[in-house]
Amino acid sequence: MIKPFKKPIYVARPFLPNLDDFSEGLKEIWDNHWLTNKGPIVQRFGQELSNYFETDNVCLFTNGTLALQIGLQGMGIAGEVITTPFTFVATTHSLFWNKIRPVFVDIEPDFYTLDPEKVEAAITPWTTAILAVHVFGYPCKVNVLADIARRHNLKLIYDAAHAFGVRVGNKPIGLFGDMSMFSFHATKLYHSIEGGMLTFQDSGIKSIFDYLKNFGFESEVEVVMPGTNAKMNEMQALMGSMVLEHVNEIIEKRRQITAIYREKLEAVSGIYLRPELPKDIGYNYAYMPVEVDEKEFGMSRDQFYEKLKEYNIYSRRYFYPLVCDFACYKSVAIKDPLTVARKAGERILTLPIYYDLALDDVQRICDIIIAIGSKQANHQSSELAAKV
Ligand SMILES: *Cc1c(COP(=O)(O)O)cnc(C)c1O
């Protein structure tokens, strides 16, 4: 009998820099006496990210959701946008806030990203863009989507909230498509407490994003467009800058955690792992999704999720329910049966993964999962024996 964890193990836990280092950094803010509005630390942080993402075309925001909303508005996206229901609600909300109609199409079963064939089939004269999600940090079929977008004259936009640090063919993921949004929320692999960023191809659009995130101010007396307030502040930039120094270690630790999960769970009946990623992808190990097959595992995904709680392990059902099934999107007409997304939504569970999760604890989580699974199997076979 394996004992429950004494302290709860959550699905995510933010990396925190050394407190003394952070205090040192705060002194700079106190010295400057400058908290927000394009402060020196935000500007320096922007440069650091520019280097990391290998592009000058970056724009920082107070969070990822406002970054995406402003990105869509700044690019003039309207009408219909083809998107995925297997994502966090903010993807779709950003369309809604721009009065854009979401057209939900299905995902592919290996990595849960938009199925390009379904995208192409859903294009109408009103379609202006594709909004795809690198879900769990798994890159979309970037080349196929780019080809579709080009042939149909559509903008290609990525919600890359999960994809910090991912590379495709040795290019940073933010260089694909017309625009990508990154989230630096505390629960993400990389964070600035809260924060967001756009990377984009057309350098001419940068000034529009800058206006839109700061009320449209051109000068003290000129407002050139009805913007909103979505500026990043100095505290966020300080945290972001300090976490950035550790991002390689963070990704490496997550790689080790993932390797243990994969090795130990591979043979568990009823637990399905994702296939190996193609060789040209540099992955960030942002999440650890598994699928639970109710018949083979002996209990449903939801029962398993509850059972893990008894051991003080808090997994998440990402993404369930599908966005299109939330009350606020019930009235959106959907042609695609979303077969793959529905199946994934009912079977998926993401397991704890974060920088200071001890590798021994990962082993123990796996042992608990194995024990839960085999207990169910024994239970089933004894029931069967009783019937015989
Ligand atoms: C977290 C997340 C967002 C929103 O980012 P915030 O920075 O929390 O506003 C958008 N899309 C996806 C897929 C996310 O996971």
Between the CA of residue 291 and those of 87, 264, 309, 345, what are the distances in Å?
16, 15, 17, 9
Q: Whose CA is nearest to atom 8 of ligand 1?
A: 185
Which atom belonging to ligand 1 lies closest to the Cα atom of 133? 13
Which domains does the chain possess? Answer: 19-244 (3.40.640.10), 247-387 (3.90.1150.10)
Does the beta carbon of 91 lie inside 6 Å of ligand 1? yes
Report H helices in 166-297.
206-213, 234-244, 247-265, 294-297
Nearest-CA neighbor of 134 among 185, 194, 174, 193? 174
* DSSP strand pairing (127-133 vs 155-159): parallel
d(CA 189, CA 350): 14
Does the beta carbon of 137 lie inside 6 Å of ligand 1? no
d(CA 116, CA 107): 8
d(CA 174, CA 160): 8
d(CA 110, CA 58): 31
Does the beta carbon of 64 lie inside 6 Å of ligand 1? yes
For residue 161, the CA-to-ligand 1 centroid distance in Å is: 5
Three-class DSSP category at 153: coil
Tokens of 302: 């939801």
Q: Tell me what percent of the chain is helix, strand and coil, each rounded to the nearest 5.
A: 45, 15, 40
For residue 191, the CA-to-ligand 1 centroid distance in Å is: 11
320 Rama sector, left if φ>0, alpha if ψ -120 to 50, beta otherwise: beta
pLDDT averaged over the chain?
96
For residue 316, the CA-to-ligand 1 centroid distance in Å is: 15
Does the beta carbon of 287 lie inside 6 Å of ligand 1? no
What pLDDT, on a 0 to 100 scale, did the predictor assign at position 279?
A: 95
Does the beta carbon of 236 lie inside 6 Å of ligand 1? no
What pLDDT, on a 0 to 100 scale, did the predictor assign at position 374?
A: 86
Nearest-CA neighbor of 240 among 25, 70, 12? 25
Does the beta carbon of 63 lie inside 6 Å of ligand 1? yes
Instruction: Please name the amino acid found at residue 163.
Output: A
Query: Residues with Cβ < 8 Å from 369, sequence gap 6 or more?
Result: 265, 268, 271, 308
For residue 195, the CA-to-ligand 1 centroid distance in Å is: 10
Measured from the Cβ of residue 15, the count of other Cβ atoms closer than 10 Å reads: 19
Does the beta carbon of 196 lie inside 6 Å of ligand 1? yes
Pocket test for ligand 1, best of 185, 197, 198 (most atoms within 8 A of CB): 185
* Interior angle at CA 73, CA 67 and CA 74, nearest 5: 85
What pLDDT, on a 0 to 100 scale, did the predictor assign at position 381?
A: 63
Strand ranges, E, within 167-315: 167-168, 171-172, 179-183, 196-200, 217-219, 222-223, 271-272, 281-282, 289-292
Q: Whose CA is nearest to atom 2 of ligand 1?
A: 161
What is this structure's pTM?
0.96
The residues of the chain scoring below 70 in pLDDT are 376-388
Report H helices in 60-174.
64-74, 89-96, 116-121, 142-151
Sign, Cα dihedral of 297, 299, 303, 307: negative
What pLDDT, on a 0 to 100 scale, did the predictor assign at position 64?
A: 98
The answer to whether the beta carbons of residues 107 and 344 sit under 8 Å apart is yes
Does the beta carbon of 62 lie inside 6 Å of ligand 1? no
Q: Running DSSP on this structure, what letter comes out for residue 333?
A: -
d(CA 128, CA 149): 9
d(CA 335, CA 366): 40
For residue 106, the CA-to-ligand 1 centroid distance in Å is: 20
The answer to whether the beta carbons of residues 184 and 250 sit under 8 Å apart is no
Pocket test for ligand 1, best of 60, 159, 236, 287 (most atoms within 8 A of CB): 159
Pocket test for ligand 1, best of 62, 65, 173, 191 (most atoms within 8 A of CB): 65
For residue 248, the CA-to-ligand 1 centroid distance in Å is: 21
What pLDDT, on a 0 to 100 scale, did the predictor assign at position 386?
A: 61
Q: Whose CA is nearest to atom 5 of ligand 1?
A: 64
